A and B are shown apart, each in its own frame.
Chain A
Amino acid sequence: MATRGFTGRRPAAATASRLPPGQYLTEDFPVLAKGPTPRVDPARWRFTLHDGPRPLASWSWDEFNQLPRTRWQGDIHCVTKWSKFDTEWQGVSIDDLFAAAGLAAPPTPWLLARSLDDYDTNVPLADLVGGRAMIATHFDGRPLHAEHGGPARLLVPHLYFWKSAKWIHGLRFTQRDEAGFWELRGYHMYGDPWKQQRFSDDP
């Protein structure tokens, strides 16, 4: 349905081809969160990998920073419609994290990322391993700002960015694909931007 008098501002072809449907490019880095920004003291931060209730491995901030480092550059897409190109992140890949935990075989194919503000979000194992995700501690070469999830956030850039949980302090293997905070409030269980999987009844 055409909107009378709307012409719009088309992005250049090179930009348009990188924008998933319904998204627009921003140069800014918008902040979204369900509540106040937690101020996290790295000295008290601990990252724990759980299988259900059972802890598998745990790292203090200093121990975490001894793990092998990974770098990723690319585009990110928020369900609120903005996309940001060529973002640059550093952190610890989930592959390296699992290796450091001595995890021979992942116990289940599903995980919940858990945050210090009681936020959580589900991501399938297959989307976290194989170099597809990291626990990011740096953005643009600098320690991650608290408003963007510092000291550490999940980065799963091929899914809508609500999956990249800010202020992360753990990953938990679950017995089934358990909905997290936004997934319980109407958002999609998987969240592929290229398929516009925004809301629970999107295909």
Chain B
Amino acid sequence: MSRASPWHEARIERIGPVTPRIVSVMLSAAVAPPVAGQHVEVRLTAEDGYSAQRSYSIASAPSAPHIELIIEKLDDGEVSPYFHEVAQAGDSIELRGPLGGHFIWRPEDGGPLLLVAGGSGIAPLMAMVRAWRDSGITAPVMLVYSARTWDEVAFADELQQLQAQVPQRFVFVAATTRGAPQRAGDLSRRLDAAQWQALQARWGQVPRHVFVCGSNRFVEAATDGLQAAGVPPQIIRTERYGGAS
């Protein structure tokens, strides 16, 4: 499933902000089509041969012409500042992948599908939303996406448009922790067990697969809340970044 080597040259076709802290990088590279949820490894090399590697989830649909990565700026980061301050269309980087055989969704896996994103954790879930949309399958999807403010909700236009197109099949709820709710049905609190219960009741579906991606703290809180609301742990898959003491 994961055919790792070799490294491929990847050309940056487009690069630009999707939120104040996140850039989208569109890459063309001769790699296998990804499965939604997979990631790539990125390698940057300095003139003297020093290199740095990082892993980034793919946000684009499996059938998309370019691989889209979204990269949040970490103020003390080594690699993310390059994408925010230096990289331009026409530059080349190296990547290997796509990789990963657990936090993935294929149309034949079906639904109902509950996707829970925190911040830049939207990336692999956006790939799943897009794969679901492009597959035309009828299983319902609910995306609950937590960000600090509405400005920090990446892909908000695309998600709202999809919800407007197929409101009975795609529910998109934004949960902003520092800003007011933007739309009817959006939330302005951290998600607790009672809210998960209310969201599931509103959705009217019992999820078959649950994918949660975000910071470790976010994923811990979301998975605790989901389990307290009756979601069995066996159907919850997680992907996390950051640590715990």
**Residues of chain A having any CB pair with chain B under 8 Å:** 1-10, 22, 24, 26, 28-38, 80-81, 117-118, 145, 147-148, 181-182, 184-187, 198-202
Contact = CB atoms under 8 A, between A and B. Distances in A.
Contacts of B165: none
> Chain A interface secondary structure, helix, strand, loop or mixed?
loop
A128 B237 CA distance: 29
A148 B94 CA distance: 32
B228 to A, nearest CB: 11
Contacts of B50: 8, 10
A6 B48 CA distance: 10
A78 to B, nearest CB: 11
What 6 A-B pairs have minimum CB-CB distances, sorted nearest first? Answer: A186-B2, A185-B101, A199-B4, A36-B223, A28-B243, A5-B86
A2 B47 contact: yes
Interface in B98-129: 99-103
B92 A145 contact: no
Interface of B: 1-5, 9, 44-47, 50-55, 78, 82, 86-87, 91-94, 99-103, 216, 220, 223-224, 226-227, 233-234, 236-238, 240-245
B5 A35 contact: no
Contact of A36 (B5, B82, B91, B236): B236
Contacts, number: 121
A185 B78 contact: no
B223 A37 contact: yes
Given A34-B238, A186-B1, A29 B244 contact: yes
30 contacts: A2-B47, A3-B92, A3-B93, A5-B87, A5-B91, A6-B44, A6-B45, A8-B44, A10-B50, A24-B52, A28-B243, A29-B243, A29-B244, A30-B216, A30-B241, A31-B216, A31-B240, A34-B237, A35-B233, A35-B237, A36-B224, A36-B227, A36-B233, A80-B55, A117-B233, A145-B244, A148-B244, A199-B99, A200-B2, A200-B4
